[in-house]
């Protein structure tokens, strides 16, 4: 384990709660804070201590992890009044594992540097199952020395972690990940609607193709959900909507044309407007179902 043994953890949602539990299991001492009381109580019963604010959660901690919905949340919790930087000590490390716009990560990093605090943007992929199993893929932006100090933390929550570049690189990599995942989900949905309309059994088609070139983690994780019609959230459509929006904004800032991402964005916006934002992102397949009047399940 690295010298980062006492951790403040802020944000105990679908992803954050199991991540915090895995850190406790790995021997880290945790202080936790979240907007919802239920997960805080659960983590306290699991061995953590409770903090009443982000500043208190950061006080006397070696590292502070934030796992929040979007960039404005990270800014408020880390940079805002009674935020992390009001309580953190010099030489501590702030690890924002939220999936946010790279520019916001760079802004937070600059404020951390001003206080002699290390910073990493380290968004994850793997959804709730990966968070529970401690098998997340972690994409990291920041300085090598800070990354090296944090490896013990990443070992406790992930199966892989890569330093992708300087500040913001982690979240730029996550945007690339989310483009690929969303496009794959949409393609799987269209393909399964096609075979259903042709009178085939989607389960048999899935079994036939999953071992070939079309096979992927996305197909294996999301295909069965589409076939069963089970869209209980592991990663909600509304969060993927946020990631795709950030992808388009970043593409615009860099002058990069993203035609497929733009099409996926329109599909996801349509689903959110239909009230499906709380469903798992495998329900992107329902767009193809709707326009073809055919259910995969």
pLDDT (tens digit per residue) in 96-112: 999 999 999 999 999 99
What is the per-residue pLDDT across 26-37, written as a single tens digit (0 to 9) for each? 999 999 999 999
Note the pLDDT of residue 99: 96
Cβ-count burial of 180 within 10 angstroms (0-12 exposed, 13-18 middle, 19+ buried)? middle
Annotated active-site residue in 17, 107, 174, 196: 174
Q: What is the pLDDT of residues 127-165, one digit of tens each?
A: 888 999 999 999 999 999 999 999 999 999 999 999 999
Q: What value does the mean pLDDT of the chain take?
A: 96
| CB-based contact 244:272 (threshold 8 Å) | no
Mean pLDDT across 195-211: 98
Is 174 in the active site? yes
Q: Residues of the chain with pLDDT > 90: what percent?
A: 96
Q: For the chain, list the domains and their CATH numbers.
A: 6-167 (3.40.50.720), 173-292 (1.10.1040.10)
Averaged pLDDT for residues 10-17: 96
- Per-residue pLDDT for 185 more than 50? yes
Q: Over the stretch 208-264, which tens digit does the pLDDT of each residue have?
A: 999 999 999 999 999 999 999 999 988 899 999 999 999 999 999 999 999 999 999
Rounded to whole angstroms, how far apart are CA atoms 289 and 292? 5
Q: What is the dihedral of CA 70, 152, 144, 130, to 10 degrees?
A: -40
Contacts of 69 (CB under 8 A, 6+ apart): 13, 98, 239, 242
Does the pLDDT value for residue 7 go beyond 60? yes
The 10 Å Cβ neighbour count of residue 169 is 21
The string of DSSP letters for 3-19 reads: S--EEEEE--STTHHHH
Burial of 23 (0-12, 13-18, 19+ CB in 10 A): buried
* Pick from 249, 240, 245: nearest CA to 287: 240
pLDDT at 1 over 60: no
């Amino acid at each position: 384990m690295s010298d980062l043994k006492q951790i403040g953890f802020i944000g105990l949602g679908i992803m954050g709660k199991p991540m915090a539990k895995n850190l406790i299991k790995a021997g880290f001492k945790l202080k936790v804070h979240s907007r919802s009381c239920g997960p805080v109580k659960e983590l306290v019963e699991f061995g953590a201590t409770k903090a009443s604010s982000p500043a208190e959660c950061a006080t006397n901690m070696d590292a502070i992890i934030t796992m929040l919905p979007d960039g404005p949340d990270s800014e408020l919790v880390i940079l805002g009044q009674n935020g992390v930087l009001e309580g953190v000590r010099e030489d501590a490390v702030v690890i924002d594992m939220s999936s946010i716009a790279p520019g916001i990560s760079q802004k937070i990093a600059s404020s951390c540097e001003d206080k002699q605090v290390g910073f990493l943007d380290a968004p994850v992929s793997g959804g709730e199952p990966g968070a529970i199993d401690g098998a997340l893929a972690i994409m990291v932006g920041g300085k090598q020395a800070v990354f090296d100090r944090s490896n013990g933390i990443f070992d406790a929550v992930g199966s892989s972690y890569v330093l992708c570049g300087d500040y913001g690189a982690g979240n730029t990599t996550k945007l690339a990940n989310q483009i690929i995942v969303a496009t794959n989900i949409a393609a799987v949905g269209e393909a399964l609607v096609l075979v259903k309309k042709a009178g085939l059994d989607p389960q048999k088609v899935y079994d036939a193709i999953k071992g070939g070139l079309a096979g992927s983690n996305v197909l294996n994780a999301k295909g069965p959900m589409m076939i069963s019609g089970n869209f209980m959230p592991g990663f909600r459509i509304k969060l993927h909507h946020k990631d795709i929006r950030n992808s388009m904004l970043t593409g615009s800032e860099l002058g990069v044309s993203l035609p497929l991402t733009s099409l996926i964005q329109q599909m996801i916006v349509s689903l959110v407007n239909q009230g499906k934002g709380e469903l798992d992102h495998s329900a992107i397949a329902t767009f193809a179902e709707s326009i073809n009047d055919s259910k995969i399940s």
